[in-house]
Each structure stands twice: as structure tokens, then as C-alpha cells.
């Protein structure tokens, strides 16, 4: 339903509560796909699990064999999403370094995060990384393994350093292959296997599954709301395309992506295309380098776009950028998106 733009500052854009789903049952125990497969291991951990309870002693992670011959003890996470997966599984005592925050760490992990050294504001240099003496490096984006950062994964292996890349970021993934929430859960499950905390991982995944089932509306015969997911850019807006995290989140929330026919995770479009596709709702990504309020100003000053019903009726939803990286935040963000879209119908 449409609500008058004279409504107070709620503006259909309250900050997403992407907290609460990330720990839940895992707090009771510890917090106080397509591109890789989970296989076996040895040493037990404090939840009774062993690293790898399957059939072999490796995980195929984006074409790289990750050994499961003992849980790593000294880990550097190169991106916020990777850091929060570790914290969600109660593995802060294994972290000897983190890097590259896109946002404030989730509140429920703040105390644990405070005990972990921050190696760099963005990616640490290879020297800084190696000075931390890690036995594992975990990244959410393949750029972390560029030569000037952590270095190639094969080079790390030669140094005896295990590496893990989020399956959603596998470089060889076809651009027309949609990301699915199951791949995010696969990552959580595999990290649980590598570190011997499989029970914690299973609890976290089960809680997120239940939350999504409860929040996402079933088919009631109405057409799904159409959504434009605007990440950044003003002259040529950068929007969510078919197959990345935005596409996954819109689909999981029961929405139709107006640019879902374009391959890739993101794409640059024209304002003329936005007007032509006339979305019911516009998602505004809120990032330090591209705040949601700036996007509102751009829309208000762009001819034709400012006359779209979604703009006139202020049908906006704000999503923090950190919620768009595959990881523990996605489920909570999908729940919030589904609830806000239902309000706007």
C-alpha cells in the first residue's frame, strides 16, 4: 500500500535490524553449494565436533583444496563478513588479526571483536599479514588474495598457511549463475567444519532458516513488488543485477528485481532505464562513501525520476552496505526487507 509522504522521519527506511539472527542459539553454546564441498578432519573442539566429519580430509574451496588435518589456531580475516562469521561461531580466540570494516561490527559481537588486533583500515600489506604469523587467512572477496595484499593462495600454501575464500566470491563463477542463500549457509557450515565447531554452525543456520520461513510471505496471489536496488553512482546508477547478493536478497524476500534480466552481481544503468522499468520500491544502500541521504537528493533533483510513483510516495528502503556482503547479516536483512516491502504494498 502507498502511504503519504507527509509521514514523519520513518520514511519507510528504518535502519535494518540485521542483528539477533547472527547469534541466537549459538550464544547459548559459545558467544558469551555450488563451488565447494565439506569433507573430513581430526582434532575435536569444545562443542564436541571434529574438524570435518565427512569422508575425506579436504574441502574443495573455489578449486583450492583446504586441508582438514587440524583446526587453525592463528587466523587473519581480511573482510568484515569473514570476521563476523568467525565471531558468530565463537571463534574470536583464534583471530590474530582483522581488516577492512565496511560498517560498525554487529553489536552482539562488539566485546569479542574488541579483543582482536586490527591490522589495517583496508587490506594489510603482505608484510603486515605475515608479521601476525597466521596459519590461516579467510576472506570474503577474491581481491584479498591479490599479490599486494595476502598474496596468491598457492603462495600462502607454500608457506604452510591455509586459505579460505567465501564460495560466493569464487572467481570462476559464471556471471549468469544466481547466488542463493544456501551458498551462504554452505560457507558457515564449512567454516564450522574447518574449526571443529560444526554444531554451532548448524544451530546458527537452523535459526536463520526458521527466521526466513516465519518472515517471508507465502504466495497470496498478488504480484510481487518490483524493486530497484541502488548501490551508488549518480550519473549512471549502479544497481543490483541478476546474480549477486542484492538479487539473492530480493528474491528471498519475495520481490522482483527490475534489473534481474542483466547478468552479473551489479550493473550500471541509465536513469531513462529506471524510469522505463518504474520500480514499486527503491532500495537505497547506505554506505560511508555513498550515503542514502545523498541518493535521496540525487533522485529529487533528477527530472522524470523524481516523478516516479515510488519517489513521490517515498517508497524507499535503506539497507546498510555491510548487509549486502554474503555472510551472517544476510538473513536478518532479508527478514527486514520482506517486512518493509509488506508495509509498502
* Higher-confidence position of 234 and 279: 279
Query: 343: pLDDT confidence band, cut at 50, 70 and 90?
Result: confident
Distances (CA, A) of 286 to 140, 179, 294, 333: 20, 22, 9, 13
The set of cell numbers assigned to 149 is 595484499
Query: 16: pLDDT confidence band, cut at 50, 70 and 90?
Result: very low
Question: pLDDT tens digit string along 23-53?
Answer: 444 443 344 333 444 433 334 455 555 554 4
The set of cell numbers assigned to 57 is 580430509
Angle at 152 between CA 149 and CA 155, to 5 degrees: 115
Structural contact between residues 213 and 254, judged by C-beta atoms closer than 8 angstroms: no
Give the residue extent of every domain in the chain. Answer: 25-211, 220-344
Task: Give the burial class of 150: count Cβ atoms within 10 A of its Cβ; 0-12 exposed, 13-18 middle, 19 or more buried.
Answer: buried
| Averaged pLDDT for residues 102-131 | 94
Which residue intervals of 231-288 are DSSP H helices? 245-252, 271-277
Q: 25-211: what CATH class?
A: alpha beta
Query: 226: pLDDT confidence band, cut at 50, 70 and 90?
Result: very high
pLDDT of 176 above 50: yes
Q: Is-same-fold flag (25-211; 220-344)?
A: yes
Structural contact between residues 83 and 95, judged by C-beta atoms closer than 8 angstroms: yes
Question: pLDDT tens digit string along 257-299?
Answer: 999 999 999 999 999 999 999 999 999 999 988 999 999 999 9
Q: How far is CA 281 from the centre of its chain?
A: 21
What CA dihedral angle connects 137, 138, 140 and 143, to 10 degrees?
10
Query: 215: pLDDT confidence band, cut at 50, 70 and 90?
Result: confident
Superfamily of domain 220-344: Nitrogenase molybdenum iron protein domain (3.40.50.1980)
**pLDDT at res. 48:** 52
Mean pLDDT of the chain: 86
pLDDT of 22 above 80: no
Global confidence as pTM: 0.84
What secondary structure does DSSP assign to 161-196, as a single string?
-EEEE-GGG-TT--TTS---HHHHHHHHHHHHHHTT
pLDDT of 161 above 90: yes
Give backbone dihedrals phi and psi of 268, rounded to 5 degrees, phi first.
-90, 130
| Averaged pLDDT for residues 2-6 | 27
Amino acid at each position: 500500500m502507498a502511504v503519504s509522504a507527509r509521514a514523519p522521519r520513518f520514511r519507510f527506511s528504518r535502519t535494518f535490524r540485521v542483528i539477533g539472527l547472527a547469534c541466537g542459539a549459538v550464544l547459548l553454546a559459545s558467544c558469551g553449494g555450488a563451488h565447494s564441498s565439506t569433507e573430513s578432519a581430526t582434532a575435536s573442539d569444545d562443542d564436541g565436533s571434529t574438524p570435518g566429519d565427512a569422508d575425506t580430509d579436504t574441502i574443495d574451496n573455489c578449486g583450492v583444496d583446504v586441508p582438514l588435518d587440524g583446526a587453525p589456531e592463528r587466523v587473519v580475516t581480511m573482510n568484515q563478513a569473514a570476521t563476523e562469521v568467525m565471531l558468530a561461531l565463537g571463534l574470536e580466540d583464534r583471530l590474530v588479526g582483522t581488516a577492512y570494516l565496511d560498517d560498525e561490527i554487529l553489536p552482539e559481537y562488539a566485546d569479542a571483536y574488541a579483543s582482536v588486533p586490527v591490522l589495517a583500515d583496508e587490506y594489510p600489506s603482505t608484510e603486515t599479514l605475515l608479521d601476525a604469523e597466521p596459519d590461516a587467512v579467510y576472506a570474503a572477496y577474491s581481491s584479498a588474495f591479490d599479490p599486494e595484499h595476502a598474496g596468491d593462495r598457492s603462495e600462502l600454501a607454500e608457506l604452510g598457511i591455509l586459505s579460505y575464500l567465501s564460495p560466493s566470491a569464487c572467481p570462476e563463477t559464471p556471471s549468469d549463475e544466481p547466488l542463493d542463500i544456501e551458498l551462504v549457509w554452505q560457507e558457515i557450515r564449512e567454516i564450522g567444519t574447518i574449526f571443529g565447531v560444526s554444531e554451532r554452525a548448524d544451530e546458527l543456520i537452523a535459526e536463520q532458516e526458521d527466521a526466513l520461513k516465519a518472515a517471508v510471505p507465502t504466495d497470496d496471489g498478488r504480484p510481487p513488488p518490483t524493486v530497484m536496488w541502488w548501490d551508488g553512482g549518480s550519473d549512471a546508477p549502479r544497481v543490483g543485477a541478476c546474480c549477486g547478493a542484492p538479487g539473492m536478497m530480493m528474491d528471498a524476500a519475495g520481490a522482483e528485481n527490475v534489473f534481474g534480466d542483466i547478468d552479473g552481481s551489479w550493473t550500471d544503468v541509465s536513469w531513462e532505464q529506471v524510469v522505463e522499468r518504474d520500480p514499486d520500491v527503491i532500495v537505497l544502500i547506505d554506505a560511508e562513501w555513498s550515503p542514502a541521504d545523498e541518493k535521496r537528493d540525487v533522485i529529487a533533483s533528477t527530472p522524470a525520476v523524481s516523478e516516479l510513483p515510488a519517489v513521490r510516495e517515498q517508497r524507499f528502503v535503506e539497507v546498510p552496505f555491510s548487509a549486502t556482503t554474503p555472510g551472517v547479516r544476510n538473513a536478518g536483512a532479508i527478514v527486514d526487507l520482506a517486512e518493509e516491502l509488506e508495509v509498502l504494498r
